[in-house]
Chain A
Amino acid sequence: MAAAIETTKLTKGYKSRIHGTVNVVDKLDLHVEEGEIFGFLGPNGAGKTTTIKMLLGIIYPTSGEGYVLGKEIGDMDVHRLISYVPERPYYYEYMTGMELLKFYGSLFGITDVKKFEALLEKVNLHRDASKTISQYSKGMQQRVGLAQSLLNDPKLLFLDEPTGGLDPIAHREIRDLILSFRDEGRTVFISSHELSEVELICDRVAIINRGVIERQGKLSDLLSGGRVEISAEGVPTQFISDMKINDANVRAIPGGVLLDMPEEADITAVIDAVRAQKGKLLSIVPRKKRLEDLFVETVRDKSVAPAAAKKTLTVESGDKP
């Protein structure tokens, strides 16, 4: 498959009085394939928005290069094929939903009112088309933002924290919309730290921390290495230990034994063995690796100062102030 986004050593440095030039995005090698939902994850200040702005040509890289839909970044032709919903967006408040679409449509030369109506319907705002943006709730504003982002039938969408500050119902609405974008064959690039969300919809992710990509790959690959816990009674601890399962821990618990082993290990062999001993299985609990674990692991490893580690923990809990 062709690459929708490809960057090599993309770098953005800002001059600071105290630290000299700081690379807030540092030698970024991103690879996003066409037709996938790509999650761009990182704690606050990691460089997500900066990266998106570079890819859109709103700010200029210090060094390195990037290609969006095969064209070098900044190429105006690409702007016909992409769209962008900024984080915490603001739209001209005096406009109605319909007027907003008319305005953004006119920037592409689109004047088809039927199309605007269809888009408002798609984001479930057709009944609020004549309300002004100032009367819209946050969730409605985010949805009208998605509607304007679909005006040019984009092949690639950049969504910067599309669910930031929204309630669970609005979350779900936005999530369903994003999934529908993929079904329509669009590539979606989402920056986020709402990990449970990303886990549900993204095909591949990159984790960026302090401007550096720490992990990148298919979600299923990154989250491999889950574990399974089996508890049983009427079997001696020693017996299980003797099975010599790789990377497994066995310990006695009140009324039985608890075995904790990698999910790849042979579970049926354990079950058969317990039965053969006339033991009783109590539970089999898969403990999948969560994106949250991976994220915290990745981000914390690199944090030098303990204060910074604390900060990532608040990010991980997901509730933003």
Chain B
Amino acid sequence: MRPIISIASTTLGEAIRRKVLLIILLIGILFLVIAPGLGVLSARSETTVLRGMLLGVIQLTSAVIAVVLTVYMIPNEIERRTIYTILSKPVQRWQFLVGKYLGAVLSLGLMMVLMTTVMAFTFYLQQRDFTAVPELVKAPVMYFVQMSLLAALAVFFSTFVAPLVNFFLSGGMYILGSLFNPFFQTLDQSPTTPIGAKVAAKLVNVILPNFANYNVQNPIINPGQSIANEGAYYFQVSIYGLFYIGILLVGGILVFDRREV
């Protein structure tokens, strides 16, 4: 366990010093801060627009950070030969990979906490409504599970594809899983769908990580909507996420174990 913790904290130490990540983070924070100013241009209910913008900025920034952070993580270790000094010590490859992943999730969590804090402040200063803040913060919590899943996907791919390919592969699957999973779900459940398409839709649904699960912003943005049995839903999709992350990590370990580094 100790090597995993050490590797994770080292990964965190590196991540918070990576300029690219800090720049992305700063841009995200900048948009969070100026969001109220942009919101007044719209005619719709001010609070709805503001909520939507804040959550959107957090989600987009986090997704970019998650992918950029993870696609270079393993290749960098190999290129700089730091992995050799680590693996020649009593550290198993799975410990290395899990440590790296946890470090990435930790860094991601830290950056998301920072952005969420900025968001809460911005919202409070603009709306002077403290009671709405906890409601607003629920979304980034679910986004964190989503980004952890995205990071696991990228770590999995990083054990066998090059960083740039991985960037588009993981990013592409994230967009696909966010936008189209609900579509495939409907297709699968609709009685009018032909059986072939139904099977295909089911397959896509099972294989493609269901990123859409975590896009919980709609009821938070729109006062009229709500998720039935919200607590149970959050719990259920979090378990789904953990399960999927587990599968991706095991898959990554199986590839990485056989790989020449």
Contacts and interface: CB of A to CB of B under 8 A. Distances in A.
Interface of A: 53, 56-60, 76-77, 79-80, 82-86, 88-92, 94-95, 103-104, 106-109, 145, 148, 152, 158
- Chain B CB count within 10 A is highest, among A88, A89, A148, for A89
B17 interface: yes
B89 to A, nearest CB: 4
27 contacts: A53-B84, A57-B87, A58-B88, A59-B260, A60-B260, A76-B90, A79-B88, A79-B90, A83-B88, A83-B89, A84-B84, A84-B88, A88-B81, A91-B85, A92-B10, A92-B13, A92-B14, A94-B13, A94-B14, A94-B17, A106-B3, A107-B2, A107-B6, A107-B86, A107-B90, A145-B85, A158-B88
- Chain A CB count within 10 A is highest, among B2, B13, B89, for B89
Contacts of A85: 85
B89 A104 contact: yes
B260 to A, nearest CB: 5
A82 B88 contact: yes
Interface of B: 2-3, 5-6, 10, 13-14, 17, 80-82, 84-92, 260-261
A216 B6 CA distance: 41
- Chain B CB count within 10 A is highest, among A59, A107, A148, A152, for A107
Nearest to A111: B2
B82 A91 contact: yes
Nearest to B80: A90
Contact of B85 (A88, A89, A106): A89
Contacts, number: 69
A147 B90 CA distance: 17
* Dominant SS among interface residues on chain B: helix
A82 to B, nearest CB: 7
B89 A56 contact: no
A73 B89 CA distance: 13
Given A77-B90, A107-B90, A107-B91, 12 more contacts: A56-B87, A76-B90, A80-B90, A89-B81, A89-B85, A90-B81, A92-B82, A94-B14, A104-B89, A106-B3, A107-B86, A145-B85
A119 to B, nearest CB: 15
Nearest to A87: B81
Contact of A108 (B81, B85, B87, B89): B89
Nearest to A79: B90
A112 B13 CA distance: 21
Contacts of B86: 107
Contacts of A92: 10, 13-14, 82
A107 B96 CA distance: 11
A104 B85 contact: yes
Contacts of A91: 82, 85
Contacts of A88: 81
A115 B137 CA distance: 46
